[in-house]
Chain A
Amino acid sequence: MARWRPYLLGTLGLAAITFPFLWLKLAPDFNNNTVTIAWAPWHGLEFFGDLSPVFVITFLIWLGVQANRHFGWDKVLTQNRAWQQAGHTWTHYWAWGTMPLVLSGSLFLGASSLSLLTNVGIYMLLALGLNITVGMTGLLVLGYAGFYGFGAYFFALAQQNLPYFPWWMACPLAFALGGGAGYLLGLPCLRLRGDYLAIVTLGFAEAFRELMRNLSVDETDTTPHGPFVRELIQIFNTSGDKGIILNDSSTFGKVAGLNSGQVAYIVMALVLFLAVFLVQRLFHSPVGRAWIAIRENEVAAASVGVPVVQMKLLAFSLSAAIAAVAGVIYGAKDGFISPSICEFQQSIMILAMVILGGLGNSYGALLGAALLYLVPEYLKFLPLMIQDNALLRTIVPSFMRDSFQHLADYRLLLFGAVMVLMMLYRPQGLLGSRRRKTEMLHP
């Protein structure tokens, strides 16, 4: 009993402090120009009801993990000599197998699936890039979406001013410019302590977003812009919140009988493979080992001869460059750029993906991106599947079926919870090792 006491007290405390928000409702009182309180128990029940699929899924996963620990189901596979051999071969040659599979998917998947997978691809690329600084080098970057926006706006503004600027011209230029921007931002900032770097990058992302929002031409505006700002606006007219609609010549067009959705998918897949190849080669090289050394203990790394500043700058520039390329691809695919792509919400999503998958593990980043993006999307289809199947219709209560629709609203709530829980109980992420956990919790 004594062992449970702190948990009991904790739960009671949490219930007490969330009580008014969950179970009461504000009702305006117009006669007295004030507010009154009303009971709203269904409100709290609705909240928990909408979250019930999450609880159920978590419970099922926990059950599965416990059962596996007890029965040792994975030992059947992992201790089988033949599977181990196969797994070994697989890890060396997996790219040869998956690449044709993924590329051929463009031919037989429908338009909405292709669009979904292309979006996942963009997030995978972003997570991969962020993983380089946060996971491999241990530099927390909170404004990653700023570089993403940088690439996208570079593409949008350039194609607005130049007569012909297609995406395949923009990609390498964005890579170079993004890297340059990362280098320039990193130069003064990398000597700052970890938390300061995080805030500076966040500040950069927010300042960039506001700058893009404000650089919109408006002849009738009487705010006293200086002549320099007017010059700036002439070239860099971003139309602020109204956004830039990209020309057809710059976005993905029809090529060799494939429509633009398929072209986007194929380009995304190729770029992703290239990026993974690049990053993994760097990771399994002295550069990667230098990054890990810096992550573990910067002073010790410097003392054994690792060029700390240059390695940090390399990580920073590379991840900024990757984000910029992702920005160009997004612009080419969607055809519309507005300042909200560099919002803090985006940075948080990408950070959550990297953390979920595993800090320092490229494939973990890809997996985290896939899970965090696709699972809410798949859950939207679940009600239809349940509806069509009579057995499931009886098992799954109706309130849970309705809640799947609303679950998308709860996405960020769950991301926050995932981040906290992952840091507390599994900081190495899904694909991390337990040694990594020890490294993180007891440096």
Chain B
Amino acid sequence: MRKLSLLLSLGVVLIIGAMLTGCQKNPDTIKIGLAAVQSGSDAQIGLTMLQGSQIAVDEWNAKGGVLGKQIETISLDDEGNAQKANTVAHTLVDDGVVAVLGHLNSNCTIPASTVYNDGKVLQITPGSTNPKYTERGLPYAFRICGRDDQQGPIAGTYMHDVLKLNKIAILHNKTAYGEGLATEVKKTFEKLGGTVTMFQGIGVDENDFRANLSVIKGSGAEGFFWGGMYGQGGPLCVQMRQAGLNIPFVSGDGCFDQTFIDTVGGNAANVYLSFGKDYHKIPAAQPFLEKYKAKYGHEEGAYSVYGYDAANVLLTAIAQAQTTDADKVAAVMKSRPFDTILGKVEFDEKGDVKQSGFVIWTIKDGKLQVVSDSP
């Protein structure tokens, strides 16, 4: 009969818990969701991106919030996993957020956007570059960074015209972002007359690339492109150098992180990444960078500025629309240019920014620096 009392006490616990979930949170705030990868091998880019957004939200809250209410952020981790991102999206929509800043990995953003659109929640992603995100005709999907069909050609052209490579090998991580970017690079490179000797995908949790590198060596490639994130890009580059393959290693914005430099070494040669413009040179960025360093104690991440800009654009649009209704805010967003650190941002019909430029960076003296400005 002790079992009965155990059962009873557990039942009481569960009922109390159920009542707890019923207790509503503060209704006098406007809730904004921050969703991105915050743990696991790509954590740094996502975490720093959301921290940038948080600084923008704090600034607005200090000025009195938006529409007369304080802004409350709900930050959730999607672990870079599409399934988890879908769950996070459902949670945020059920929690009643008016808009979401996120996600980072295109693999996560694309399924999550279906959920946000069904729930009429506006979404701006500061860092997802896959074209499919805005090509599906979703009215509430926006992005503030460029697209892979702009980024891929930059890398492909650079490899063919500047590095003078004729044969390259391409590996990708089979996610929407990695595969998409790699495909764009392949298309550009072949259009310019080069040959792609190998185009394969490897799983996101693969760490041992030796066999792949042997095949690359055997294929006679003069250069290499990695479509994926820094979590695998770093070890891949290191293993390449250790295997004696000193060919140029080119990748995209997914490898743009301090952790990548830490892994490959501060004086790694022949490493090129494509990314957006250098915001360090823009004077408007300095106050943000200082505030970021002061609040979080470390340098900003690749997409922190984009996160900050996205949050500012969102809140400005809400303030102008005088409502949180997704249709009206989306209409405002598509109707006018916004002033951001990265310059004027204007959204087109699909939700992409009208102008964006990618440039090629390389590693010098332990930091990433722009090497050429070819748009």
Contact indicator B82/A242 (Cβ below 8 Å): yes
CB-CB under 8 A for A30 and B366, given A245-B111, A334-B87: yes
User: Does A110 sit at the interface, judged by CB under 8 A?
Assistant: yes
Spot the interface stretch: B61-69, B173-181, B283-291, B340-348: B173-181
8 Å CB interface, B197-239 against A: 198-201, 203-204
Whether the pair B17, A375 counts as a contact (CB closer than 8 A) is: yes
Is B10 in contact with A340, judged by CB distance below 8 angstroms?
no
Q: Does B298 contact A (CB under 8 A)?
A: no
Q: Is the CB of B114 within 8 A of A336?
A: yes
CB contact list, B176-190 vs A, under 8 A: 176, 179, 183, 186
Q: Which residues of chain A are within 8 angstroms of B83 by Cβ–Cβ distance?
A: 243, 336-338, 340-341
Interchain CA distance A30-B262 in the complex, whole Å:
8
Residues of chain B within 8 A (CB-CB) of A24 are none
The residue of chain A having its C-beta at the shortest distance from the C-beta of B115 within the complex is A335
Verify if B162 is at the interface (C-beta below 8 Å from A): no
Task: Indicate whether A381 reaches chain B with its CB closer than 8 angstroms.
Answer: yes
With a cutoff of 8 Å between Cβ atoms, the chain A residues found around residue B242 in the complex are none
Q: Tell whether B20 is near chain A: CB-to-CB under 8 Å.
A: yes
Contact with B along A373-394 (1 / 0, CB 8 A): 0110110011011000000000
Q: How many residues of A sit at the interface, in one of the four size bands?
A: 35 or more
Tell me if A112 counts as interface (CB < 8 A to partner B).
yes
Q: Is B294 positioned at the interface, with any CB of A under 8 Å from its CB?
A: no
What is the distance, in angstroms, from A67's C-beta to the closest C-beta of chain B? Answer: 12
A366 to chain B, nearest CB (A): 11
Select B23's contact among A68, A111, A377, A384, beta carbons within 8 Å.
Answer: A384
Q: State whether B23 touches A245 (Cβ < 8 A).
A: no
Say which residue of A74, A335, A382, A409 sits within 8 Å of B5 (CB atoms): A74
Do the beta carbons of B86 and A335 come within 8 Å of each other?
A: yes
Stretch among B89-97, B143-151, B313-321 lining the A interface: B89-97
Nearest chain A CB to B233 CB, angstrom units: 17
Q: Known A220-B183, A220-B186, A335-B114; judge A385-B20 contact (CB<8 A).
A: yes
B134 to chain A, nearest CB (A): 15
CA distance A109 to B94 in the complex (A): 12
Q: Inside 8 A of B25's CB, which chain A residues have their CB?
A: 384
Which residues from A are CB-within-8-Å of B366?
30
Partner among A115, A222, A338 whose Cβ is within 8 Å of the Cβ of B82: A338
* B295: min CB distance to chain A, Å: 17
Give the CA-CA distance A222 to B196 in the complex, in Å. Answer: 9
B5–A430 contact, CB under 8 A?
A: no
Alpha-carbon distance between A146 and B90 when the two chains are bound, in angstroms: 24
Q: Which of A40-74 contact B (CB under 8 A)?
A: 64, 68, 73-74
Residues A77 and B86 in contact in the complex (CB < 8 Å), given A30-B366, A241-B107: no
Considering only residues 315-349 of chain A, those with a C-beta below 8 Å from chain B are: 334-338, 340-341
> Nearest Cβ distance between residue B317 and chain A, in whole angstroms?
25
Q: Which residue of B lies closest to A385 (CB)?
A: B20
A73 and B21 in contact (CB under 8 A), knowing A335-B114, A340-B83?
no
Q: A374-B17, A381-B20, A385-B23 are in contact. Are A334 and B86 (CB under 8 A)?
A: yes
| Residue A104 lies at the interface, judged by CB distance under 8 Å to chain B | no
Instruction: Give chain A residues whose Cβ lies under 8 Å from the Cβ of B192.
Output: none
The answer to whether A242 and B176 touch across the interface, beta carbons within 8 angstroms, is yes
The answer on a CB contact under 8 Å between B1 and A78 is: yes
Report the Cα distance A116→B18, complex, angstroms: 10
The 8 A-B residue pairs whose C-beta atoms are closest, nearest first, are A74-B5, A78-B1, A378-B17, A112-B94, A336-B86, A338-B82, A111-B94, A336-B111
18 residue pairs bridging A and B, Cβ less than 8 Å apart: A30-B366, A33-B265, A64-B9, A68-B5, A74-B4, A87-B4, A112-B21, A112-B91, A220-B186, A242-B174, A243-B111, A245-B110, A334-B90, A335-B114, A336-B111, A336-B114, A338-B83, A375-B17
Q: Which residues of A contact B (CB under 8 A)?
A: 28, 30, 33, 64, 68, 73-74, 77-79, 87, 109-113, 115-116, 210, 213, 216, 218, 220-223, 240-243, 245, 261, 334-338, 340-341, 367, 370-371, 374-375, 377-378, 381-382, 384-385, 409, 430-431, 433
